[in-house]
Amino acid sequence: MPRVNANGIVLEYDAFGSDDHEPILLISGLGVQMIRWTVPFCETLASQGYRVIRFDNRDVGLSTYFDSAVPDLAVVARAAARGEPPQIPYTLYDMADDAIGLLDALQIDRAHVVGRSMGGMIAQIVASEHPLRTRSLTSIMSSTGNPDLPQATPEAMAVLTQPAPHPSEDEEAFLVHNVRVARVIGSPGYPFDEGAHRAQIVAEYRRAYNPAGFGRQIAAMVATGDRRTRLNAIVAPTLIVHGAADPLIPLTGGQDTAANISGAELLAIEGMGHDLPPELYQTVALAIARNAQRADNGARR
């Protein structure tokens, strides 16, 4: 897969569809490599007439890793609450600049920006800080940073905070742990294919494994904090996609995002949790394409 120099780091990316088509930039979630945007999903989206670009965020996959220690999240949270700049290697604003740097390297003036979970937060920042580069915004299973919103369920929080065994020391235990995470935060309204999840987990950790990057990305989220005042600045046609059964970022996160972006549309999907099951590829791809067409039709707030 190709790499580019962007925003002072190296980003790994690939693309689907014709270079002549309008670009859609897919931004991944917390600790998640670009291959979590699966090939079938990317091909489904590209079949709507778009050039679909996915990439590894900094500190994950095959993009640049940061060598600094994982910050103390409690210290980062206290600094953010006091309005002080936390001592961390980067924030979500830096990660949004990475996305813009990738567009620059690919000589793309404007793109439809789509993000999932943490990637949705990054996509929101791209749209708010770089309006001339954003044709449309789709934020999936994400939120606003509003501290008053309901939090993850205790079970979801427990599986995410439990340390995973190292795959080189006990691969089966690592797989069991991550399958359990996928099952707990996944979509109860759709079949759970354990074999497919195990294959995806194996593909990801054999491609790259950087658990420290996960911690630094969490710190970036904590430090970035409440973004509602910035969301009010978004002018791109916006779609919010959220699972009605999401145990990690409850539906209220999507509702709050839609409420803080003028003209945003909310698509709440029954039975969907904090993942994107194959049964929803077509539904979500068509929704992204319809929102992109709003930009083509001149929709603005």
The per-residue pLDDT for 101 is 98
**Residue 250 near residue 143 (C-beta atoms within 8 A):** no
Listed in sequence order, the DSSP H helices in the chain are 39-46, 73-81, 92-105, 118-129, 154-161, 171-185, 194-207, 211-224, 228-231, 251-259, 281-296
- Distance in angstroms between the alpha carbons of the first and the last residue of the chain: 38
Q: By the 8 A CB rule, do 205 and 251 touch?
A: no
Tens of pLDDT, residue by residue over 8-35, are 999 999 999 999 999 999 999 999 999 9
Say whether 17 sits in a helix, a strand or coil: coil
The confidence band for 241, taking pLDDT boundaries of 50, 70 and 90, is: very high
| Local confidence band at 55 (pLDDT 50, 70, 90 cut-offs) | very high
Mind listing the pLDDT tens digit for each residue in 96-125?
A: 999 999 999 999 999 999 999 999 999 999
Q: Once rounded to an integer, what is the mean pLDDT over residues 187-198?
A: 97
pLDDT band at 301 (very low <50, low <70, confident <90, very high): very low
The whole-number average pLDDT for the span 43-70 is 96
pLDDT over 60 (residue 193): yes
Which domains are present in the chain?
3-151+211-296 (3.40.50.1820)
Residues 77-90 have a mean pLDDT of 83
What is the model's pLDDT at position 300? 46
